[in-house]
Structure 1
Amino acid sequence: MVETLTLYRPVGLRESELVLASGCSGFPPRLPDQPIFYPVMNADYARQIARDWNAPDAGSGHVGLVTAFDVDAAYLARFPVRTVGGRGHQELWVPAEELAEFNARLVGPVRFLEVWYGPGYRGPDSPLGPLESQVAALLERTGGAEARLQELIRACPAPFLLNSGWWATRPTGREDLLARVRAAWAREFPAWPLPQPG
């Protein structure tokens, strides 16, 4: 059995969509102006970045999510831990050209743990329409049928992953439907739980 270390990474809307599109098997390549991939060493630091930096930021889609992932500990030993602020602000610096190898050393899926929303949050593109009317659209599209709900989650997981926390914090009067969404998600993607609202 491979010894692993759990790392965390705060991500915004687009990176979340790309992680999900990979089957939660890794992180997308860095952009040309991003020479380093920065996983962080603890959930509190990731939470702080997701809440205080990503959620208010338009470039992050006004959403911050905390991801967790397990990596081969022997492989990680090649990257020194860097303290970039206070004692709890520790991260690894993985050169962009090594990210594919880093992803290959993940043991299990990337998991989305928590989510924070900024006031400008509008969510990903969705066949369910605008964010504010998605719960009603979901009920209309599925007619309450579990098979249709499951099919919709399978066909377009991003709105469910990214919006479930937002839906849960808004009074919809449809808590029963949201509970069914959570149950259907767990059946479809048991290794990738929906994130909890922060």
Structure 2
Amino acid sequence: MSTAAATVTMHRPLRPEQDALVRVPGFRRWPPRLPEQPGFPPATDRRYAGEIASRWNVKDSGVGDVAQFAALAAFVDQYAMQTVGGAHHTEWWIPAEDFDKFNAAIVGSITIIARFDAPPAEPRP
């Protein structure tokens, strides 16, 4: 008899350059962190990730997506959830030094679940 390990659903707002990586079929790992990035903050809430994608990423680059993925609860439970704004603005903080272990704890594929585009430009008179 097989029992599946418990998982936690996580969300991540994406910029266009990240989106291109996630759209590869079967994508299961996040790309390496840049040296100036001290950690990885996946959102606990789809709504919060959507707000970042639609408000910040669309403003900065014209488009924003939200990715959803699962990670082993036994790994995620090591990290406290942090509230970084309103009640639904919650995320985990995965330190950069634990990032490879975090990637190894991802179960299944990372998928795009929402897309936000900039509104069309107004026609010039």
Aligned residue in 2 for 1:6 = 9
Shift of the alpha carbon at 1:56?
1.1
Higher helix share: 1
Say if 1:34 and 1:22 are closer, same or farther in 2 by CA, change over 3 A.
farther
Higher strand share: 2
Q: Which amino acid aligns with 1:71?
A: A
Aligned residue in 2 for 1:108 = 108
Count of aligned pairs between the two proteins: 117
Relative contact order: is structure 1 or structure 2 higher (C-alpha 8 Å, sep ≥ 6)? 2
The CA distance in 2 between the partners of 1:19 and 1:95, in whole Å, is: 21
Which 5+ residue runs of structure 2 have no aligned equivalent?
A: 121-125
The CA distance in 2 between the partners of 1:97 and 1:111, in whole Å, is: 25
The CA distance in 2 between the partners of 1:74 and 1:91, in whole Å, is: 17
Aligned residue in 2 for 1:68 = 68
1:26 aligns with 2:29: yes
TM-score by length of 1: 0.56
TM-score by length of 2: 0.87
1:36 aligns with 2:39: yes
Which 5+ residue runs of structure 1 have no aligned equivalent?
A: 121-198
SS in 1 for 2:36: coil
The CA distance in 1 between the partners of 2:34 and 2:112, in whole Å, is: 22
The CA distance in 2 between the partners of 1:63 and 1:54, in whole Å, is: 6
Shift of the alpha carbon at 1:119?
5.2
Identity of aligned residues (%): 38
Q: Which amino acid aligns with 1:81?
A: M
Post-superposition Cα deviations, 1:140-191, rounded to whole Å, max 9, x if no partner, equal: xxxxxxxxxxxxxxxxxxxxxxxxxxxxxxxxxxxxxxxxxxxxxxxxxxxx
Aligned residue in 1 for 2:94 = 94
Aligned residue in 2 for 1:191 = none
Q: Is the 8 A contact 2:23 2:112 kept in 1?
A: no
Q: Is the 8 A contact 2:16 2:64 kept in 1?
A: yes
